[in-house]
Structure 1
Amino acid sequence: MNITKEQIDELNAVVKVAISKDDYQDNVEKILRDYRKQANIPGFRKGQVPMGLIKKQYGKAVLVDEVNKLLQDNLNKYLTEEKLDVLGNPLPKQQDNFDWDNDNLDFEFELGLAPSFDVQIKTKKAVIQYKIVADKKMIEEQVDRIQKQYGKLVSKTEIGKSDEVTGTFINETEEIEHKSTVELDKIKSKKAIDALVGKKVGETVSLKTKGLFKEDYLLSSALGIDREKAEKLNIEVSLNIEEINEREPATLDQELFDKLFGKDNVKSEKELKEKIKEDSEKQFEQQSDQKLLNDVTEKLIENTKFDLPAEFLRKWIQVSGENPLSDDEAKEEFDKSEKGLRYQLIEGKIIQENNLQVQMDELKEFSKGFIKSQMAQYGHLDPKEEELENIAMRVMSNQDEVKRLSEQLMSQKLLDLFKEKANLKVKEVTYDDFVKEAYS
């Protein structure tokens, strides 16, 4: 077997593979002999079928199969040995006069080669690194929420502007009949509030669904319907009032602090607000980090210029899927995936040049941290090391989980690298301002 490469240009090459009869004949003969031993053909005893008949029935199929195996194994080996950085997979070139009866067989494969380029992490124009701070307004709102959540319900006979109303929403046409509890301070419609205030248990109020709540998702919950239906809904529903309660705020005392944060971890309202600020800003870090990662990625794609073997990639996309695509479909698919492919190449070069690797021991520790944070959400704040170790071992035995965690850890390594080497400008903002600037 002889394999040679013809360079077309910097991004395209053709690999030629010449296979002689000596390369495949022994394997083909061995397989056909095995077929002869097992063949059941009428008129012949098992194992006594003439080899000529076996070759006539199975020879071409076995030959094709063995040659394809040879091609695949040796072509992959050649690409590895020659250190050819290819995009997609080699594409066989169409040969109109190809004849499988020839002793010597010649094949050609098109290659799309990865471009050569340099990556500069430190860009001329600075990327904004948001530092989200919990302002006084947010902290006070959180304190109010805590007091409401842990406060006690006091039954009332008449609805006030800050009360909770439990009742059944009904609309026969839309087949709605759902009991739920509504807080009046979450209602947006002034007409609805005016209609409810002053009403008593046993009375019925008619409400319009459009613009009823401050948050759209609350309508689907109140009516017991899916969110897609709720978004389009513009009807009147009747609310049969069954219960009215005022939520009396909880006292900010040591009993509440211990319930929220464990015994004696918080001892005053001032410490409560400091803890809320600390915890909130820690949660905000994840969002600002993701924004930073996205923005640096966009800047790298924008500033790192290189060509791709576009024609080859369109051809490869056209034939590599489950169903072949038309020329226009392949072009559309390439246009959609080009940006992602560019960043894959940029990211790969950054990882290689900065020797970023995911080791199994650090992946295990990373998984422990992830498990610990998950357990904390369910109130298990201090798991034992042995417990974490056992769960981590189970997680690491799942290849899909290992892949997912490896990608997350590599993203963290890239983020740390960008924080160290990229041109960043830190900007302090409140959460509301962050949402406006980052997602407007």
Structure 2
Amino acid sequence: MNITKEQIDELNAVVKVAITKDDYQDKVDKILKDYRKQANIPGFRKGQVPIGLIKKQYGRAVLVDEVNKLLQDNLNKYLTEEKLDVLGNPLPKQQDNFDWDKEDFAFEFELGLAPSFEVPLKTKKSITRYKILADKKMVTEQVERMRKQYGKLVTKAAVEKKDEINGIFLNEDEEIENKATVELEKVKSKKALAALIGKKVGEKVSLNTKGLFKEDYLLSSVLGISQEKAKDLKIDVSFTIEEINEREPAQLDQDFFDKLFGKDTVTSEDEMKARIKEDSEKQFEQQSDQKLLNDITEYFIENTKFDLPSEFLTKWIQMTGEKPLSPEEATEEFEKSEKGLRYQLIEGKIIKDNNLDIQFDELKEFAKGFIKSQMAQFGQLDPQEEELDNIAARVLGNQDEVKRLSEQLMSQKLLNLYKDKVNFKVKEVTYENFVKEVYG
């Protein structure tokens, strides 16, 4: 067998594979002999079928199969040994006069080659790195939410502005009958509020669903219907009051602090606010980091210039898709995927140049850290190392989980590299302003 490469240009090449009879004949003969031992053909005893008949019946199929195996194995080996960085897969060139009756065969494959380029990490333009702050307003609101969450319910005789009402929503025509709790502070409709204020247990009020709550998602929740059905719903529902409660906020005392943060960890309101601010800003770092990673990705895509073997890739998309595509459809698919392909190449180059490959031991430690954080959410703050090892082993036995965790770990590695190398300008913003600026 002889394999040669003809370089068309920097991004395209043709590989020629010459296969002779000596390359495949021994294997073909062995397979046909094995077929002969097992063949059941009327008129012949098992194992006594003439080899000529076996060749006539099975020879062509065995030949084609073995030649294709030789092609695939040796072409892949050649690409690896020659260190050819190809895009997509080699595409066989059409041969109109190909003849399987010959003893020697010649095949040609088109290659699309990855471009050569550099990715300077020291960016010319400074990229904004957001530092999201928990301002005084946010901290105060969080304190009030916590006090309310850990407060106690006090039964009321009649409904007042800040009460919680338990009751049953009913509309027979829409098949709605659902028991729910309504917090008056979340009711938007002034007409509904006026109808509810002063009512007592057992009384029934009629409420219109349009604009009933400040947050649209609440309507589907209290009526027990889907979000889709609740959207733009404009009907009257009856609401029968079963219970009226006022939620009395928890006192800012040591018992409250201990419930939130552990015994004697926080001992005053000022310490509590400082802890809330610190914890909130740690959580905001994840959003800030994701924004940073997205912005750097966009920067590299826009500023790393290189050509792609577009014609080859379009043809590859056309020939290897789940269903046949027209040239126009293949061109459209290539244009859709080009940006993603460019970043795959850029990311691959960064990973290679900076030795960011993931080793199994560090993936295992990353998995254990993820597991530990999940356990902490359920109150298991100090799991045993052996337990973490066992859970990690089970998780890493699932290839989908391995892929997911590997992607997360690589994103973290890239982010750490960017933080060290890329030019930044730090911008301090409140969370509210961050959301406005980033998400509009």
TM value normalised by structure 1:
0.97
Residue aligning to 1:7: 7
SS in 2 for 1:240: strand
Cα offset, 1:211, TM superposition? 2.3
Residue aligning to 2:234: 234
1:357-406 C-alpha deviation (Å, 9 max, x unpaired): 21222222211211111111112222232322222222233332222211
Cα distance in 2 for residues equivalent to 1:3 and 1:234: 73
Residue aligning to 1:66: 66
Residue aligning to 2:180: 180
Cα offset, 1:216, TM superposition? 2.0
Cα offset, 1:44, TM superposition? 0.7
AA aligned opposite 2:80? T
Cα offset, 1:107, TM superposition? 0.8
Residue aligning to 2:376: 376
Q: Which runs of 5+ in 1 are unaligned?
A: none
Cα offset, 1:189, TM superposition? 2.2
Residue aligning to 2:22: 22
SS in 2 for 1:393: helix
Residue aligning to 1:83: 83
Cα distance in 2 for residues equivalent to 1:312 and 1:337: 14
SS in 2 for 1:291: helix
SS in 1 for 2:112: strand
Cα offset, 1:210, TM superposition? 2.5
Residue aligning to 2:401: 401
Cα offset, 1:249, TM superposition? 0.6
AA aligned opposite 1:324? P
Residue aligning to 2:134: 134
SS in 2 for 1:299: helix
Cα offset, 1:56, TM superposition? 1.1
Cα distance in 1 for residues equivalent to 2:190 and 2:167: 19
1:150-184 C-alpha deviation (Å, 9 max, x unpaired): 11111112111111111111222221111110111
Cα offset, 1:54, TM superposition? 0.8
AA aligned opposite 2:127? V
Residue aligning to 1:421: 421
Matched, 1:319 2:319: yes
Cα distance in 2 for residues equivalent to 1:126 and 1:208: 53
Cα offset, 1:214, TM superposition? 1.9
Cα distance in 2 for residues equivalent to 1:308 and 1:52: 51
AA aligned opposite 2:201? V
Residue aligning to 2:35: 35
Cα offset, 1:122, TM superposition? 2.3
Matched, 1:268 2:268: yes
Cα distance in 1 for residues equivalent to 2:85 and 2:231: 50
Q: Which residues in structure 2 correspond to 1:303-314 (within 5 Å)?
A: 303-314=303-314
Mean Cα deviation higher: 326-335 or 297-306: 326-335
AA aligned opposite 2:414? L
AA aligned opposite 1:387? E
Give the 3 Å change call, closer, same or farther, for CA 346–193 of structure 1 in structure 2: same
Residue aligning to 1:152: 152
Cα offset, 1:317, TM superposition? 1.4
AA aligned opposite 1:221? S
1:213-242 C-alpha deviation (Å, 9 max, x unpaired): 222221111111122222242322221221
Cα distance in 2 for residues equivalent to 1:298 and 1:128: 13
SS in 2 for 1:101: coil
Cα distance in 2 for residues equivalent to 1:319 and 1:177: 56
RMSD: 1.3
SS in 2 for 1:94: coil
AA aligned opposite 2:166? T
Cα offset, 1:334, TM superposition? 1.5
Residue aligning to 1:296: 296
Cα distance in 2 for residues equivalent to 1:205 and 1:285: 46
AA aligned opposite 2:372? K
Cα distance in 2 for residues equivalent to 1:235 and 1:79: 68
Q: Which runs of 5+ in 2 are unaligned?
A: none
Q: Percent identity?
A: 78
SS in 2 for 1:143: helix
SS in 1 for 2:346: helix
Q: Which residues in structure 2 correspond to 1:159-308 (within 5 Å)?
A: 159-308=159-308
AA aligned opposite 1:132? I
Cα distance in 2 for residues equivalent to 1:333 and 1:229: 36
SS in 1 for 2:231: helix
SS in 2 for 1:375: helix
AA aligned opposite 1:190? K
AA aligned opposite 2:32? L
Cα distance in 2 for residues equivalent to 1:160 and 1:242: 15
Residue aligning to 2:57: 57
Cα distance in 2 for residues equivalent to 1:209 and 1:9: 67
Mean Cα deviation higher: 286-295 or 211-220: 211-220
Q: Give the total of aligned pairs.
A: 440
Give the 3 Å change call, closer, same or farther, for CA 236–121 of structure 1 in structure 2: farther
Cα offset, 1:349, TM superposition? 0.5
Cα distance in 2 for residues equivalent to 1:189 and 1:304: 54
SS in 1 for 2:426: strand
SS in 2 for 1:201: coil
Give the 3 Å change call, closer, same or farther, for CA 235–336 of structure 1 in structure 2: farther
TM value normalised by structure 2:
0.97
Residue aligning to 2:97: 97
1:95-116 C-alpha deviation (Å, 9 max, x unpaired): 1111111111111111111011
Give the 3 Å change call, closer, same or farther, for CA 198–328 of structure 1 in structure 2: farther
Cα distance in 2 for residues equivalent to 1:15 and 1:181: 71
1:194-217 C-alpha deviation (Å, 9 max, x unpaired): 222222222222222232222222
Cα distance in 2 for residues equivalent to 1:237 and 1:25: 83
Cα distance in 1 for residues equivalent to 2:210 and 2:370: 41
AA aligned opposite 1:318? Q
Cα distance in 2 for residues equivalent to 1:333 and 1:223: 44
SS in 2 for 1:128: strand
Cα distance in 2 for residues equivalent to 1:300 and 1:229: 44
